[in-house]
Amino acid sequence: MDKSVEFLSKGQRIRGVLCLPDSGAGPFPLMVMAGGWCYVKEIVIPTYAATLAEVGCASLRFDYRCLGESEGEPRQHLDPWAQIEDYRNAISYVASEPAVDRERIGVWGISYSGGHALILAAIDPRVKCAVSNIPVIDGYQTMRLVHGYGKGRFARVCRLIEEDRERRSRGQPSAYIPHNSADPDRDICTWPFTTSYEFFSSARRTFAPNYEPRSTIESTEMLMAYSVMGFVGRILNCPTQMLVVEGDEHTPWDLQLQAFQAIASVRKELAVMKNVTHIGLYAKQDFQKLAAARNADFVRRHLMASA
């Protein structure tokens, strides 16, 4: 039972989809869901929302401001704290929905938003359950590692950011950088993986036409200043699942393990998936469904049972 909805976040109209279970009596527990770098709500999230519905949990998946169907300028500007604010306003919106149990609201994230879910669990007491899939933990360390420090790519990204800051100081708008590339050794991009390029390009041609394969350069600068490590020690009472991919090359899993160890809550769970890559978790349906099932089982045990 999907319904298109909209709500305001700092004056911007945010558009999303409210998914209610087909059976059972409300008010339902609900997970607020948003995507990673440049994602729109049609990418990956519907599988997870459908699996939550099967265990009796509602969900709200939405496009951040400046992305997809939501309002906001400049387009494709990814400010992590604005995105976290959009999550918090989404929580406020669903808390007023008669079909939703306002005492059983959680947050779900993947990749960049996997980090957001951890921060939200730390700062918003309304969050009663958090699911963090393959999260970005520290933007600077992630960029340094994925671009291969010493190979020149990381230095090129840093120079591009410096040039863009000078451009903005002269009153000009931020320029754009590609999300990914078919040849990341030749082209400067934020996420230098050909597997990422192949998956997202296919998504744009088929089921996610609102996806745009670029962001402002300032978005990448803000990514480099992003870290969840100052927050995870504040997760005390919120049940938190972190799902990681062993050997993840995209969002380094050693950083994820450090963050998991720092979560203060005793109600935390580490789910490790093997023989799949970060992008494989999107592109391979069997693995995507397995991850969704693990998320839904955690939500069933910790959010749905908390009434």
pLDDT value of position 148: 84
Confidence (pLDDT) at 113: 98
How many domains is the chain built from?
A: 1
Return the pLDDT at 150.
61
Residue 306 has pLDDT above 60, yes or no: no
Domain of residue 123, CATH code: 3.40.50.1820
With residues binned 3-state (H G I as helix, E B as strand, rest as coil), the percentages for the chain, rounded to 5, are 40, 20, 40
Q: Three-state DSSP class for 101?
A: strand
> Residue 37 — very low, low, confident or very high, per pLDDT cuts 50/70/90?
very high
**Burial tier of 152 (Cβ tally within 10 Å: 0-12, 13-18, 19+):** exposed
pLDDT range class, residue 149, cuts 50, 70, 90? low
* CA of residue 255 relative to chain centroid, distance: 16
Q: Which residues form the domain of 295?
A: 2-306
